[in-house]
Amino acid sequence: MDDDETGRKEIRITSSGKIKSFVSFALDFFEKYDSRPLVFHTLPRDPPDQANNDLHNVTSIIPRLISVVEIIKREFLKRLHEKHSKRLLGLHQYNQLGTLEDLGYGESEGTPQSRDQQIAYALEGKNHIKLKQTPYLRITLSLEKIPELEKPATYQPPSRRKLSKSAKARAKKRERKAKALESGLQCPSPHINSAGAADFLILSNLHINPVYHVFLSTTHNEMTWESLRNRDCNVPTVLTAFLIVSIEVAKIRGGEADETLRPVQLFSSSLSHWHPQFVSANYDHRLTQKGSIFRCRHLLPSYVPAQPGQVAVLKDQLVPDTS
């Protein structure tokens, strides 16, 4: 067994070992290591010069090895589904079949009499020389392809995980999110200055440019990043844009309840200075309805906190645009 933390890990399959133990170890191994392959084999424990003459178990446990590998591949796909993993492919498999005699097992100098017996056994064949061969099997499982094993071994491609409709929808959302973030990083970053609320609206450096579907309830004018960067808008306008942009960010993030950001206003003691910021919290899923465009119903919230410094969350301030 190879204990190298970077190389391959070899496991010898035995008739007394529990299949459940082999499977659980393999699943934990691939969860811990991304680049290390895992090798299962039926080779004897002892080296060739010390191996027992009875090597029948090496051949008899080959079906057990195949069963262990097939269960591991099946359970690996199940674990990907349970964890909502982005990986769609299973494990790459390389099969190597050989004989112990080629590796030097079962050979010994012995006495001249034993050699004569081996020659007599080989000549017992009617038409051809009678040979005794003991096959063994070695199977390598890996998360990635191993080009150096493709020639000496037979390659079995990984199975593809079948996604449900909901899983496909989540995958498409993640793809749209990645494209949106990639395009957003190419946009110019707004000027950062802690003195003004408009400059504070940096959206965690997401740099969405421009902010589409942002309409003020009074003028219905579309707002872009340029108006915010030029600081030609008052604090209520900034709050409105902040609220709508957070909805757009939530759409890009896929509306996941545990990671989506929601807008929160922190009131200072004077109640005249607003500090909009993002905090991690559960998100109202109805705000991320597919295909909806949201508009601001009220420019300011209809209530204020009772105590200075208390957190007030904008609720029911958005309605879907059905036009």
Task: Give pLDDT tens digits along the chain (323 positions).
Answer: 555 566 889 999 998 889 999 999 999 999 898 889 999 999 887 665 545 545 668 888 999 999 999 999 999 998 888 887 778 889 999 999 988 878 877 655 555 556 666 667 666 666 666 667 788 999 999 999 998 888 888 999 998 887 777 777 877 887 777 776 655 444 433 333 333 333 333 333 323 333 333 333 333 344 443 444 444 444 444 444 444 445 444 444 444 433 333 333 322 222 233 333 332 222 333 333 333 333 332 323 332 333 333 333 333 333 333 44
CA-to-CA distance for 154 and 139, rounded, in angstroms? 10
Q: Which helix (H) or strand (E) segment is 2 a member of?
A: none
Residue 175: per-residue pLDDT:
79
Residue 234: per-residue pLDDT:
44
Give me the amino acid identity at 307.
Q
Q: In this structure, are strands 135-142 and 293-296 parallel, antiparallel, or unpaired?
A: unpaired
Residue 82: per-residue pLDDT:
81
Residue 167: per-residue pLDDT:
72
Residue 288: per-residue pLDDT:
34
List where CATH 3.30.110.20 sits in the chain.
9-162
**DSSP label at 110?**
-
Residue 221: per-residue pLDDT:
40
The reported pTM is 0.48
* Superfamily classification of domain 9-162: Alba-like domain (3.30.110.20)
Residue 44: per-residue pLDDT:
86
196-208 b/e (C-beta count within 10 Å ≥ 16 → b): ebbbbbebeebbb
Residue 322: per-residue pLDDT:
42
Residue 124: per-residue pLDDT:
67
CA dihedral 114, 119, 121, 122 (to 10 degrees): 150
